[in-house]
Amino acid sequence: MDPNKRPDDMVRITTPELAQAFIEEQVEAVRAQVGDGKVLLALSGGVDSSVVAALLIKAIGKQLTCVHVNHGLMRKGESEQVCQVFGDELDANLVYVDATDRFLDLLAGVEEPETKRKIIGAEFIRVFEEEARKLEGVSFLAQGTIYPDILESDGVKAHHNVGGLPDDMQFELVEPVKLLFKDEVRVVGRELGLPASMVDRQPFPGPGLGVRCLGAITRDRLAALREADAILREEIAEAGLAGSIWQYFVAVPDFRATGVRDDKRAYEWPAIIRAVNTVDAMTADVVEIDWALLKKITARILAEVPGICRVCYDLTPKPTGTIEWE
């Protein structure tokens, strides 16, 4: 039997009871695989790696070390939440690495989107590798691979980036959710006690805000983007829409527009709001956010985010526009 093929008769995990049964089964399977060995996990804070972390903490506790690399391109509050949930509440072995300066220094002046992605991906592996080398006796690497990763990309989780470790650092993989679809991973995460804000999170690209701070990233524009994005997320959540929009975010371009502040001319950045619905991310429709809500979000961004003097709403479907701006 191919271990990477979901059996035709595998029941879809849709209820808490089915999730509990899955968790019990995987706890046993992980214990059997790992024995008293040590396991390493790159914990981004995304749904898949978070669920794997919670599952492994339940199965093997302190035999697991989670490494959370903050590349400086996380959304507001995300790294803090990872530390709170896994470090404080679940009492995991958590290594938190603030690598913000390393990433932003490397990205300074780099405009081309794919070059930015490559730099972020390569540096992520380097930081993770450095941390892994500090640990002794690790023989397993856990990954949040899910079934669509296997179906769509040869089983390699692009944004996890840890597939590119050097030859002398090859580990045996532990992939407890690799046969699950995303909605099943969420049900399992809920049963493991992870907060809804983590389990129901919208998709977030591996390069993070790096592909939404358009062109060459600067710290001040990145800070403005992070604040504007936090306001958008807060207002969407407050309006009760968080669960019904696939992806919503802010992008900030690398040019300024004219504005007026305190009766004086100001040259500040525009903030672009994008909200889309899609089934498979191959095509996407723009969400018709209520006008009053858009005006409220606009007013808050303009009042609360230094450096932003305009707000635009992106009306482009995919195609022709991709979901991300870069």
Where does this chain bind ligand XMP (CB under 6 A)?
A: 117, 158-159, 203, 205-207, 247, 281, 318, 322-324
| Residue 16: partners with Cβ closer than 8 Å, 6 or more residues away | 187, 190, 191
Can you tell me the distance from the alpha carbon of 291 to that of 296, in angstroms, rounded to the nearest whole number?
9
| Residue 273: partners with Cβ closer than 8 Å, 6 or more residues away | 232, 248, 249, 250, 294, 297, 311, 312, 313, 314
Nearest approach, Cβ of 112 to ligand XMP (angstroms)?
13
Nearest approach, Cβ of 120 to ligand XMP (angstroms)?
8
Nearest approach, Cβ of 211 to ligand XMP (angstroms)?
6
Residue (234 or 324) nearer to ligand XMP, CB:
324
Residue (118 or 219) nearer to ligand XMP, CB:
118
Q: Which residue is nearest to ligand XMP, using beta carbons?
A: 159
Can you tell me the distance from the alpha carbon of 141 to that of 157, in angstroms, rounded to the nearest whole number?
13
Residue (38 or 201) nearer to ligand XMP, CB:
201
Residue (291 or 320) nearer to ligand XMP, CB:
320
Length of the chain: 326
Residue (253 or 259) nearer to ligand XMP, CB:
253
* The two three-digit tokens of residue 205, written as one number: 């690209």
The amino acid at 44: S
Residue (94 or 251) nearer to ligand XMP, CB:
251
Nearest approach, Cβ of 36 to ligand XMP (angstroms)?
34
Nearest approach, Cβ of 170 to ligand XMP (angstroms)?
23
* The two three-digit tokens of residue 90, written as one number: 């679940």
Q: What is the 3-state secondary structure (H, E, C) of 114-155?
A: HHHHHHHHHHHHHHHHHHHHHCCCEEEEECCCCHHHHHHCCC
Nearest approach, Cβ of 292 to ligand XMP (angstroms)?
27
